[in-house]
Amino acid sequence: MNPKYDALLKEKMSEKSYEKLTALKNQKVYDFVGLFAEHCNPATIYVCDDSAADEAYIREQALAKGEEHKLAKEGQTIHWDGYGDQARDKANTKYIVTPENMERMKSLNAVPFDEGQKEIMEIAKDNMKGKDAVVKFFAEGPTGSPFTIPCIQFTDSWYVAHSESILYRPAYDHFLNMKDDEKDDIFRFIHSAGEQDERGCSVNLDKRRIYMDLQNNMVYSQNAQYAGNSVGLKKHSMRLAINKAGEEGWLCEHMFVMAVVEPESKRQTYFAGAYPSACGKTSTAMVPGEKVVGDDIAYFRNIDGEFRAVNVEQGIFGIIKDVNSSDDPVIFENLKKGQELIFSNVLQGPDNNPYWTGMGEDTPTEGNNHHGAWKLGDKDANGKDVTISHANSRYTMRLDYLANFDKEGFEAKQGVKVDGLLYGGRDSDTTVPVEESPSYASGILLKAATLESETTAATLGAEGVRTASPMANMDFVSYPLGEYTANNLKFTEGMKEEPKVFSTNYFMLSPEGKFMTSKLAKKVWLHWAEGRVHGEYEGYKTPTGTIPLYADLKKLFKDLLNEDFSEEDYTYLFTFRCTKWIEKLERTKAFFAKMDNNVPAHIIEAWDKAIAEISAAKEKYGDQIKPGTFKG
């Protein structure tokens, strides 16, 4: 298919692998594999199709090469990342940008295209030498769908290939059946773990780079093993998709997709939700009694005038710390089963079972973990106690293991119709537990764009520090923030019906500094929002939306959780705090100005108008407006 690479690929591939590659009749794929076969110089290249035999081969090779190790339960394996490679490398995750786009991208982590590509290609040169590589085909979203983005991964890490086989839909057959005019529109990922130690961990971390070429929808990841740096189809692909969506008029968002199920009628209403880290995203998606389509990344398209969504993934790459039978019963149950699961950076106990911090069970005092051979009391290089599992330890698991998995919604080629959007941050003193926005546009500007996550003294030192996180997406937005926000606003133009938009906040504290509701109270807020979608609840107005009536919440708490909910707590939780809201909006304006010097004027004007309206309400009703008082 290309004389430049034909002989080389035949040399490095078996006859069967070469046949699989050429059968695609895709010049872009062939040249991509040929270029990096030559440049990265692996000893062999195995090309996978969608067969069970190839999936099994990937799992076998991950074990044979020591990148994963068997645990006691059938199907469970464990993987360790080396110290210094156990979290996303934000500093070395960069966009390589053509000269005409450098000014536009300057607030993001961008480097000039020629400079960035030269550096990454120098690092990648012979980085696979002597190693066996694998080529695997996947799809973001369902195959054969308006949402489908075909992807090719070329990697020398069989752990990465195994992780992606759990997390993403197989798509060799999709590539095989692509029409000629579709064959160029693909995402490409080249990854090498580089030199590895005896535990399979990347060694040359000073040369770790994750460079994204938005112009050509391609990601280079070198000298990394931690999945957040190496699994290209997750957050790297998300950055490509956000940029592509911005150019084409759809949305890629850092959101779960779930169905809230009305208990009596069994009516299913689909919501998508964005929550910054540690603000309740996974626990909301997995609330007992509801159904989950996906927990992390969603694509949205306007299909026949409807706001429709798909889950990009088919698995979960979840933080395992504090996952236990009380707080996360659905996940915990599956982590204890003998089925295909990859644990990373947890403890491998003497009984060859996995253990992690906060699992709610007695744990061993010795074993193997991210530290190596470990016993209770071991110290790290800084003299701190080494915990049984790393704070960023993870599990990789298929979604369809879950009893509350919505198979029909997951497989829908046209996606599910989204009737509600949820935006949840963490603050102790400002945002009420649930509030409906007056409109989609005000929801984007006052609920989504103002999202913040507040630190606590117990965990991060300075209490009350608020980190801005518009749409819970700031680490992944791949073009200017003002443009991105404007595209969210424009997305619903021409739709027959816009989804309702709600804010949530599970972290309001009492004057004594205690949380005022149980962790499962989020089920009540969800069901009030679901009822509002269907016009079943009245509410009180506030300067920024509509809040529940006490009688409705009292009944929901009793019916759903068998808990009492006092009117005193209701009044405190749902009081509108004017000064706090004005400060929040001013912080949002300042953050947007810092990130983008060309924020559209209509966005700033909307915030200024909201500030003026809240100031007028404060003048009329006082700084703290109790539920039912405001008559705006």
Q: Which residues are catalytic?
A: 279
Q: Which helix (H) or strand (E) holds 446?
A: none
Beta bridge partners of 446: none
Main-chain dihedrals φ then ψ at residue 284, nearest 5 degrees: -70, -45
Beta-carbon contacts of 428 under 8 Å, excluding residues fewer than 6 positions away, are: 454, 464, 507, 508, 509
**Cα–Cα distance, 403 to 288 (Å, whole number):** 10
169-170/315-319 β-pairing: unpaired
Sheet of strand 394-398: strand arrangement: 69-70, 76-79, 341-344, 394-398, 315-319
Q: Which two tokens stand for residue 543?
A: 């300067």
C-alpha pair distances (Å), 422 with each of 432, 444, 483, 500, 537: 13, 10, 21, 9, 18
Which is nearest to 347 in space by CA: 325, 329, 323, 371?
A: 371
Beta-carbon contacts of 262 under 8 Å, excluding residues fewer than 6 positions away, are: 268, 269, 527, 530
Would you list the DSSP string of 507-554?
--B-TTS-B-S-GGGHHHHHHHHHHHHTT---EEEETTEEEE-HHHHH
**Cα–Cα distance, 137 to 49 (Å, whole number):** 7
Alpha helices in 104-157 (DSSP H): 113-124
Q: Which two tokens stand for residue 33?
A: 């594999």
Which is nearest to 144 in space by CA: 180, 178, 183?
A: 178
Helices first, then strands: H and E counts in the chain: 20, 33
Alpha helices in 343-391 (DSSP H): none
Which is nearest to 228 in space by CA: 390, 49, 75, 450?
A: 390
Q: Which helix (H) or strand (E) holds 34?
A: helix 27-40
3-class state of residue 574 by DSSP: coil
Q: Which helix (H) or strand (E) holds 35?
A: helix 27-40
Residue 243 CA to its chain's centroid (Å): 16
Main-chain dihedrals φ then ψ at residue 585, nearest 5 degrees: -70, -35
Output Rg (C-alpha) for the chain, integer angstroms: 25
Q: Which two tokens stand for residue 247?
A: 């150019």
C-alpha pair distances (Å), 344 with each of 83, 233, 306, 370, 561: 13, 18, 40, 8, 34
Cα 234–153–473 angle (5° rounding)? Answer: 15
